[in-house]
């Protein structure tokens, strides 16, 4: 791999603009190279002209033979690098001494751009070092408070043997071992424990304010404080690692680009310039290295019980191994199927990652074969013309469409991951995945196609009952296949064992629980992002309601139900459609109260308008009537226009008239602007898919349930497109603010300064 690509791959995504722009400098060097080549091509004419110059004689005057200049003098005659002070900050300027030569202006421009890049890098590094030093001081204060807190809790519990119990509390100090710095307990008089309302119980406790639950110096609070500080140290150490890597990569980039310059121009200027780089703050500063050593020592001693291996395993980031590339071609199917014929042989020769990829390809082939078999069976047996077609479509089709919605959403998510990685959108950081546990698109494809193959197998089993008279006696068992598959998915989802991507499953369940309990949890991006996904799965949620009614109160053995004539079912038909939007509305209210951002209020109104539109459309679909048609059409139009504007302007950050990319935004990850305009048009068109319900559009060749499934699938596709551009905009906002790390709340607040201020 060339250095330019390796350099780009090692960057902190949110700091891209702060790195040396290697590609732009390389472009200038290519211009210099082309100029040099043209000069060489014209060199024959120049040499010919020297034949007519005046002859100066063989014997010169009494000139002295010049002394051979030293290597340093030879280098110094090309460039001079000086340190200058501008606005109280140090910067560097390079003077190119060969401007008069042919192409000298281009080389002068190269050094000007080179200085700009170096000064940018040096300034950014200085700023970040100041930030981490200030953060280290804050963490030091937090550690002092934590140690005092530990001593206080242990003494209250009678665990720590204190030989100075007769002394006042303010004079008691840590005396467990000699040679350890003493920590005065009076620190606790100047700090207060921050309240974190992260669970419904903590919020209810805050409102109830039970006296027995306000004890500060308890073991429970100590565990919370230790957990918070442990997370803060891990995140701080990661920041230090990134800073150290930033310094190393940029120095290496300057070295590489100067060697290229020397090679192209046949000069020896790199030594002089790199001498300046090596003597700059970027190179000689050792604050980051010292901080890393102190953080390691502190973390190992206070959070890992002096176990260095355990401490370093917790501090170091968990890297995710890249998956091997895979082609889902039919030519690989023989090799993939051979795994099941001789697993011991294949496992011995294939890497686990390759095996996962091959298994994904196998399920793709299985799904395709099952779909083809399904189509052939339906046409061969004439099932579409049989008397039971309507009964099947009204009862069984809604059951299986649930899996179609889930699989389609997972496929869109896999495509999102693929493109996020391609355009270096830092989705693991944005979503807050635990390091090294995020799923790649191959893993998502594996799960989705596995589910698709199981669902299609179940469909074929159901149809077999229709075709073969011998299977009539198993009709009860066959009709239970969809329910069994749903229960299997739920069991796998909540399975506590470390199988089938447990960390990702629990991450999903935790976010889902936060959405259900809104607004009792603090709203993170992953929570409202998932809630937005659920708003596009209304029909899937209604399918779950139908499962309960069909198997709970219907005669599933005869494929009959009275769900739609039930008042309770119809009531919940309204409620389940509103739940995702209501959850999202409550999340907006929570953020409005915490962040005091009026935009969250406007966003909440958008979901409230959508709730009204969904309710009126549902009423029209159930009860019909011209009045409901007009009302649902008006509110749906309002909600759609509101939602479309919010998608394009707020969520995607587009339609900026004064931007460098007209009607888009200043920064774009995709080079082709037409992609953005196409996405805008698609989003608008798919937003108006509800017109099918209001206008009651029907097609003679499509059953009503099929049409409902198609419209619901269009909304899932729209959400998949929305996901990419929404996260792209979030990523660019983080890049603009150089926000590359999680903000971990600290457990203690020092109130000493506030008291001095009040005095």
Q: Is the dihedral of CA 21, 26, 28, 29 positive or negative?
A: positive
Average pLDDT over residues 245-263: 94
Angle of helix 704-736 versus helix 538-552 axis, rounded to 10 = 140
Q: If you ran DSSP here, which 8-state letter would residue 102 be given?
A: T
Predicted confidence band of residue 656 (pLDDT cuts 50, 70, 90) = very high
Domain interval for residue 601: 394-435+502-736
Enumerate residues 6+ apart whose C-beta is below 8 A from 279: none
Residue 675 lies inside a defined structural domain of this protein: yes
Residue 72 lies inside a defined structural domain of this protein: no
Residue 523 lies inside a defined structural domain of this protein: yes
Residue 193 lies inside a defined structural domain of this protein: no
Residue 630 lies inside a defined structural domain of this protein: yes
Residue 716 lies inside a defined structural domain of this protein: yes
Average pLDDT over residues 573-602: 94
Q: Token pair of 253, please?
A: 């980039």
Ranking 262-266, 321-325, 695-699, 738-742 by mean pLDDT, the lowest is 321-325
Q: Is the dihedral of CA 472, 475, 476, 477 positive or negative?
A: positive
Is 332's pLDDT higher than 50?
A: no
Mean pLDDT for all residues in the chain? 81
For residue 621, the model assigns a pLDDT of 85
Count of structural domains, the chain: 1
CB contact at 8 A, 351 and 357: no
Is 525's pLDDT higher than 90?
A: yes
pLDDT tens for residues 226-253? 999 999 999 999 999 999 999 999 999 9
For residue 204, the model assigns a pLDDT of 62
| Distance between CA atoms of residues 615 and 690, nearest Å | 12
Predicted confidence band of residue 63 (pLDDT cuts 50, 70, 90) = very low
Residue 129 lies inside a defined structural domain of this protein: no
Q: Token pair of 716, please?
A: 């899932």
pLDDT above 90: percentage of residues in the chain: 45
H helix runs in 180-332, sequence order: 200-208, 219-265, 270-278, 281-284, 287-303, 308-315
For residue 340, the model assigns a pLDDT of 38
Residue 534 lies inside a defined structural domain of this protein: yes
CB contact at 8 A, 739 and 556: no
């Amino acid at each position: 791999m060339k250095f330019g690509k390796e350099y780009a791959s090692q960057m902190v995504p949110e700091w891209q603009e702060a790195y040396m722009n290697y590609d732009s400098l390389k472009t200038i060097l290519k211009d210099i190279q082309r100029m040099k080549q043209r000069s060489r091509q014209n060199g024959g004419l120049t040499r010919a002209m020297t034949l007519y110059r005046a002859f100066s004689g063989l014997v010169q005057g009494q000139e002295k033979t010049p002394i051979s200049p030293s290597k340093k003098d030879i280098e110094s005659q090309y460039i001079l690098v000086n340190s200058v002070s501008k606005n109280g900050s140090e910067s560097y300027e390079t003077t190119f001494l060969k401007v008069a030569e042919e192409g000298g202006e281009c080389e002068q421009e190269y050094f000007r751009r080179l200085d700009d890049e170096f000064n940018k890098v040096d300034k950014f590094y200085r700023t970040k070092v100041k930030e981490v030093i200030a953060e280290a001081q804050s963490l030091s204060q937090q550690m002092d408070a934590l140690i005092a807190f530990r001593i206080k809790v242990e003494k209250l519990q009678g665990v720590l043997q204190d030989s100075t119990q007769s002394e006042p509390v303010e004079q008691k100090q840590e005396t467990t071992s000699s040679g350890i710095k003493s920590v005065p307990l009076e620190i606790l008089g100047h700090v207060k424990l921050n309240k974190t309302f992260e669970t419904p119980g903590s919020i209810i406790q805050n409102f109830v304010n039970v006296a027995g639950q306000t004890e500060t110096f308890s073991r429970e609070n100590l565990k919370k404080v230790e957990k918070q500080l442990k997370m803060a140290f891990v995140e701080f150490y990661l920041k230090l690692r990134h800073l150290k890597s930033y310094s190393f990569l940029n120095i290496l980039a300057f070295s590489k680009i100067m060697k290229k310059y020397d090679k192209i121009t046949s000069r020896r200027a790199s030594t002089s310039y790199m001498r300046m780089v090596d003597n700059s703050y970027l190179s000689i500063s050792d604050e980051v290295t010292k901080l890393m050593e102190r953080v390691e020592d502190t973390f190992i001693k206070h959070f890992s019980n002096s176990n260095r291996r355990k401490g370093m395993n917790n501090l170091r980031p968990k890297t995710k191994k890249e998956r091997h590339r895979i082609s889902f071609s039919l030519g690989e199917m023989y090799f993939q199927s051979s795994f099941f014929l001789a697993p011991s042989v294949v496992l011995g020769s294939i890497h686990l990652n390759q095996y996962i990829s091959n298994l994904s390809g196998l399920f793709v082939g299985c799904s395709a074969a099952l779909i083809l078999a399904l189509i052939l069976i339906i046409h061969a047996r004439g099932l579409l013309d049989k008397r039971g077609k309507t009964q099947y479509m009204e009862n069984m089709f809604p059951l299986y469409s649930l899996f179609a919605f889930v699989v389609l959403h997972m496929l869109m998510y896999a495509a999102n991951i693929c493109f996020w990685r391609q355009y270096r959108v830092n989705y693991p950081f944005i979503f807050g995945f635990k390091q090294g546990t995020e799923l790649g698109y191959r893993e998502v494809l594996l799960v989705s196609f596995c589910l698709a193959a199981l669902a299609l197998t179940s469909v074929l089993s159901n149809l077999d009952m229709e075709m073969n008279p011998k299977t009539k006696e198993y009709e009860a068992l066959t009709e239970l296949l969809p329910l069994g598959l749903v229960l299997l998915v739920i069991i796998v989802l909540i399975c506590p064992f470390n199988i089938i991507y447990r960390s990702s499953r629990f991450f999903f369940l935790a976010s889902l629980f936060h959405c259900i309990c809104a607004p009792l949890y603090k709203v993170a991006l992953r929570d409202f992002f998932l809630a937005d996904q659920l708003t596009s799965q209304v029909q899937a949620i209604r399918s779950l309601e139908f499962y309960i009614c069909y198997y709970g109160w219907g005669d599933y053995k005869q494929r009959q139900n009275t769900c739609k004539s039930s008042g309770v079912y119809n009531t919940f038909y309204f409620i389940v459609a509103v739940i995702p939007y209501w959850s999202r509305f409550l999340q907006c209210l929570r953020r409005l109260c915490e962040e005091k951002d009026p935009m969250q209020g406007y966003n909440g109104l958008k979901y409230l308008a959508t709730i009204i539109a969904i309710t009126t459309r549902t009423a029209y679909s159930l009860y019909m009537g011209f009045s409901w048609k007009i009302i649902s059409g008006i509110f749906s139009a309002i909600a759609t226009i509101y939602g479309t504007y919010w998608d394009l302007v707020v969520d995607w950050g587009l339609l900026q008239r004064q931007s460098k990319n007209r009607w888009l935004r200043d920064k774009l990850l995709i080079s082709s602007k037409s992609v953005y305009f196409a996405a805008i048009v698609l989003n608008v068109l798919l937003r108006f898919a509800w017109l099918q319900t209001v206008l009651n559009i029907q097609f003679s060749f499509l059953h009503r349930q099929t049409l409902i499934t198609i419209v619901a699938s269009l909304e899932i596709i729209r959400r998949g497109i929305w996901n990419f551009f929404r996260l792209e905009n979030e990523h660019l906002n983080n890049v603009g603010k150089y926000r590359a790390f999680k903000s971990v709340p600290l457990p203690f607040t020092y109130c000493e300064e506030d008291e001095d201020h009040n005095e």
